């Protein structure tokens, strides 16, 4: 990953994420658990919005079905998939400071000794301080039942894809789908990463949004192109800056053992370009292996042509947590904004796409008297069953706007003295900061028009 000069922005973002309740360190009061994060009140809303936009895009179509498979699976699944043998990273230890590194990431790592601040790990390696590389399996192991012996070993799934492959024929016959069709799933995955880093980018517990599309061999190249196009468009349609998205093609010699072709969608994070989603042509590897290891046929019978064959699979595999982080980074802006008395000040604004914004609206009484709080409360109650809304009556109205800007609330409604005369309120839009008047009884319809109308 190349570094960019604005990595200080990442510190600001992590601090905002904690202060405003997007993301907390896991088990913080005990000093935290490396590689694990908790989503706070706003974080869970944003994450749910990311997942629900993905679910809509992927399954609100006639050729994709959804499933939700168990995290624990039969251990043979992971033998068939190749994870027991191949899901390893090369690991080295520093004999001096005991730091542990992924052997293929030494170039971009720093020495673990705090006394040598900023020293490159490659320097320590050149001085012969590192052990030989050993292969380390990234799957978390646990046991089913009370006896902790080899026969009871199961794994926390390192990807959601296998739950889809083993259910291919169940889903196909239950939903009466014909090839080509896909199966989508969102769920937790676990990887015992050697080094976790960059906030939510590389964690040990994370969520994936995966879709496996089953196609007739020979049509795979065409479908691969189709899904590449769909998936990059999804990020762009949800407002990600197009210039910060790029394709990275895996070189043929670096392709995973199952893949015929693979492209990553990369996002330019403040710490450099990083993969947020992979699109893979997995061929018939997965179904053939499950057929071999289970002894059950995984072939598809084409009623029309009377052919029986093993479908090829085009996979779209996105991290929900990495996408969440890309949306968070992309939304962050520091910009000048006018104060109530006409001066300029800096504001931090999260310019989330409105469909992703964790809070959709805020309601303020301008002052806490003259019946304004009562009217504002009524408006809040009218909105609450339909959209996430926040009521705020403390501090100057300008400060209340700033607090909403910082969490990306698209609309603020203020009850003021004019409301008492003509029942209109001020609507203030987050990005343009433009204010206009709206009849108080039209607030819910106004929000419906903004959030539920089809995209133009």
Q: Contact positions toward ligand ATP, by CB under 6 A?
A: 159, 191, 193, 202-203, 206, 208, 275-278, 317-319, 321-322
The nearest distance, CB 203 to ligand ATP, in angstroms, is 4
Closer to ligand ATP by Cβ: residue 212 or 317: 317
The residues with which 120 forms a beta bridge, in sequence order, are: 110
The nearest distance, CB 377 to ligand ATP, in angstroms, is 41
Q: Quick count: other Cβ atoms within 10 Å of Cβ 391?
A: 17
Closer to ligand ATP by Cβ: residue 285 or 300: 285
Closer to ligand ATP by Cβ: residue 319 or 410: 319
Q: List, edge to edge, every strand of the sheet that includes 312-319.
A: 64-66, 181-190, 205-215, 312-319, 272-283, 261-269, 245-249
Closer to ligand ATP by Cβ: residue 203 or 310: 203
- Residue 254 backbone dihedrals phi, psi, to 5 degrees: -105, 5
Closer to ligand ATP by Cβ: residue 209 or 379: 209
The nearest distance, CB 144 to ligand ATP, in angstroms, is 25
- Residue 353 backbone dihedrals phi, psi, to 5 degrees: -55, 140
Closer to ligand ATP by Cβ: residue 317 or 426: 317
| Alpha helices (H) along 204-309 | 220-237, 285-294
The nearest distance, CB 166 to ligand ATP, in angstroms, is 18
Query: 3-state DSSP call for residue 37?
Result: strand
The nearest distance, CB 264 to ligand ATP, in angstroms, is 7
CB-nearest residue to ligand ATP: 319
Closer to ligand ATP by Cβ: residue 125 or 208: 208
- The bridge status of strand 272-283 relative to strand 261-269 is antiparallel
Residue 327 in tokens:
């949306």
Which residue bears the tokens 């203020």? 414
- The bridge status of strand 435-439 relative to strand 424-429 is antiparallel
The nearest distance, CB 321 to ligand ATP, in angstroms, is 5
Query: Angle 320-331/41-59 helices, nearest 10 degrees?
Result: 110
Query: 3-state DSSP call for residue 13?
Result: helix
Closer to ligand ATP by Cβ: residue 205 or 406: 205
The nearest distance, CB 290 to ligand ATP, in angstroms, is 18
Distance CA 354, CA 410 (A): 6
DSSP annotation of 174 reads: H
The nearest distance, CB 323 to ligand ATP, in angstroms, is 7
Question: Do the beta carbons of residue 440 and residue 375 sit within 8 Å?
Answer: yes
Sequence-separated (6 or more) residues with CB below 8 Å from residue 177: 63, 65, 171
């Amino acid at each position: 990953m190349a570094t960019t000069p604005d990595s200080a922005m990442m510190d600001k973002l992590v601090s905002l994420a904690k202060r405003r309740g997007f993301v907390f360190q896991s088990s913080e009061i005990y000093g935290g658990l490396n590689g694990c994060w908790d989503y706070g009140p706003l974080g869970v809303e944003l994450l749910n919005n990311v997942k629900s936009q993905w679910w809509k895009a992927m399954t609100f179509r006639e050729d994709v079905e959804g499933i939700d498979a168990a995290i624990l699976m039969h251990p043979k699944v992971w033998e068939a998939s190749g994870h027991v043998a191949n899901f390893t990273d090369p690991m080295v230890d520093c004999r001096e400071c005991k730091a542990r590194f992924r052997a293929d990431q030494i170039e971009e790592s720093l020495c673990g000794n705090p006394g040598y601040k900023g020293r490159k790990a490659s320097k320590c390696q050149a001085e012969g301080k590192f052990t030989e590389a050993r292969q380390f399996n990234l799957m978390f192991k646990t046991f089913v039942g009370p006896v902790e012996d080899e026969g009871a070993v199961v794994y926390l799934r390192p990807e959601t894809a296998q739950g889809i492959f083993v259910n291919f024929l169940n889903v196909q016959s239950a939903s009466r789908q014909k090839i080509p069709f896909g199966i989508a799933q969102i769920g937790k995955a676990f990887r015992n990463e050697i080094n976790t880093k960059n906030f939510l980018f590389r964690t040990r517990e994370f969520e994936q949004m995966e879709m496996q599309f089953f196609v007739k061999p020979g049509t795979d190249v065409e479908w691969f192109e189709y899904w590449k196009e769909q998936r990059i468009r999804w990020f762009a349609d949800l407002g990600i800056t197009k210039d910060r998205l790029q394709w990275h093609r895996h070189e043929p010699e670096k392709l995973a053992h199952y893949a015929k072709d693979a492209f990553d969608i990369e996002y330019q994070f403040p710490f450099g370009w990083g993969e947020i989603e992979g699109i893979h042509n997995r061929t018939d590897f997965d179904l053939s292996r499950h057929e071999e290891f289970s002894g059950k046929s995984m072939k598809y019978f084409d009623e029309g042509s009377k052919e029986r064959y093993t479908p090829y699979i085009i996979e779209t595999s996105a991290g929900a947590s990495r996408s969440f982080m890309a949306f968070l980074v992309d939304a962050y802006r520091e910009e000048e904004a006018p104060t109530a008395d006409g001066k300029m000040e800096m504001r931090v604004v999260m310019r989330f796409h409105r469909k992703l914004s964790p809070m959709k609206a805020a309601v303020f009484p301008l002052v806490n008297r003259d019946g304004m709080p009562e009217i504002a409360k009524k408006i809040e109650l009218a909105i609450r069953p339909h959209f996430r809304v926040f009521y705020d009556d403390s501090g100057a109205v300008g400060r209340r706007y700033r607090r909403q800007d910082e969490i990306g609330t698209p609309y603020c409604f203020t009850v003021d003295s004019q409301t008492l005369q003509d029942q209109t309120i001020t609507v203030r839009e987050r990005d343009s900061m433009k204010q206009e008047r709206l009849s108080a009884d039209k607030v819910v319809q106004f929000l419906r028009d903004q959030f539920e109308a089809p995209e133009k």
